[in-house]
Amino acid sequence: MAKKNQTLGEFIIENQASFKYTSGELSRLINSIRLAAKVVNHEVNKAGLVDIIGAAGETNIQGEDQQKLDVYANDKFIQTLTNRNIVCGIASEEEDDFIIVNSQDENHQNKYVVLIDPLDGSSNIDVNVSVGTIFSVYRRVTPVGTPVKLEDFLQKGSEQVAAGYVVYGTSTMLVYTTGDGVNGFTLNPAIGTFYLSHPNMEFPEDGKIYSVNEGNYIHFPIGVKKYIKYCQEEEGDRPYTSRYIGSLVSDFHRNMIKGGIYMYPKSSKNSNGKLRLLYECNPMAFIAEQAKGKASDGYNRILDVEPTELHQRIPFFCGSKNMVIKAEEFMSKHTE
């Protein structure tokens, strides 16, 4: 049972037995993510004081300009997970291909792979808006002791054993699940310790916030346009409030606490949507479902989607259950 003000370390130890693959390995993995998050948080918080904001001059595999903090966060998470000999493979949104860990070590018995978006919302860094880290953990499907392969990463979201995010905002929070509910931990910067501040987090069944980039309205499918108009109508408890930060972690976190829906649909500019299935949608969908919310591509459950490539994109609707169901109704009614 989650106890408020427990440290993250205490919580991991106390709840380790509730995890069906209990071996201590996953606990050490979460601890490593905690350590890397604290290092990245320190750098994010002094971004305006040192030369670490702005573009790095490179583009990632998606053709997007990398920010200096993108590169820094990517390096720190990979370095921490690799050096502590906890995982057998890592895939990052910032890397072209997955990383094989300790493939030459015959005694390498690690069973987990991590997929990570090291710094979500990095376009907001220069203007001091909240950014975050998203991570996802799977048990490998290829034989333990051999180098990981692509199929270890291309697993359906329903196969995740853990997922979480870190939001670097007015306070820094680590929120995660191992399939037994969702809990949030807030960093006390004075002593560098995460404390359980948000036990048993859940989406309200209904909400009054819709989060979507309405600047792309003209490019959206008709079903999405109709749903946005529905949100704006004067009827019942509507109109809803429009809130869009442009950082998935921040928008998701607010909607989980207050009740709302986040949408990044396909459009005439992005025919497959823009968010990545493996690094963003699957982990957030797993958290959402564990928090009694819902996640969909507009028609189907996100966690049932069969991945075909590492950097696959997909439309994403996620949040309070009844709001997502209503958005799906509009999508089904107005197919194009």
Q: Which residues, other chains included, contact 271 with Cβ-Cβ below 8 Å and sequence gap of 6+?
A: none
- Ligand-binding site membership of 235 (annotated): no
- Ligand-binding site membership of 70 (annotated): no
Q: Which residues, other chains included, contact 235 with Cβ-Cβ below 8 Å and sequence gap of 6+?
A: none
Do residues 119 and 133 lie in contact, with contact meaning Cβ atoms separated by under 8 Å? Answer: yes
Distance CA 72, CA 162 (A): 24
Do residues 160 and 137 lie in contact, with contact meaning Cβ atoms separated by under 8 Å? Answer: yes
- Ligand-binding site membership of 262 (annotated): no
Ramachandran region of residue 204, left (φ > 0), alpha (ψ -120 to 50) or beta? beta
Asked if the peptide bond before residue 143 counts as cis, ω within 30 degrees of 0, the response is no
- Ligand-binding site membership of 213 (annotated): yes
Sheet holding 241-242, edge to edge: 241-242, 209-211, 260-264, 316-320, 293-296
R_g of the chain computed on alpha carbons: 19
- Ligand-binding site membership of 5 (annotated): no
Sequence letter at residue 127: V
- Ligand-binding site membership of 297 (annotated): no
How would you class 132 by CB atoms within 10 Å of its CB: exposed for 0-12, middle for 13-18, buried for 19 or more? Answer: buried
Which DSSP category does 66 fall into?
E
- Ligand-binding site membership of 117 (annotated): yes
- Ligand-binding site membership of 154 (annotated): no
Question: Token pair of 39, please?
Answer: 């290092």
Distance from the first to the final alpha carbon of the chain: 47
- Ligand-binding site membership of 120 (annotated): yes
**Kind of pairing, strands 65-67 and 89-92?**
unpaired
Question: Token pair of 6, please?
Answer: 């427990």
Total residue count of the chain as it appears in this document:
336
Q: Which residues, other chains included, contact 143 with Cβ-Cβ below 8 Å and sequence gap of 6+?
A: none
- Ligand-binding site membership of 103 (annotated): no
Q: Based on DSSP, count helices (H) and strands (E) in the chain, helices before strands.
A: 8, 15
- Ligand-binding site membership of 126 (annotated): no
Binding-site residue positions: 93, 117, 119-123, 213, 244, 274, 280
Binding-site residue positions for substrate: 120-123, 213, 244, 274
Binding-site residue positions for Mg(2+): 93, 117, 119-120, 280
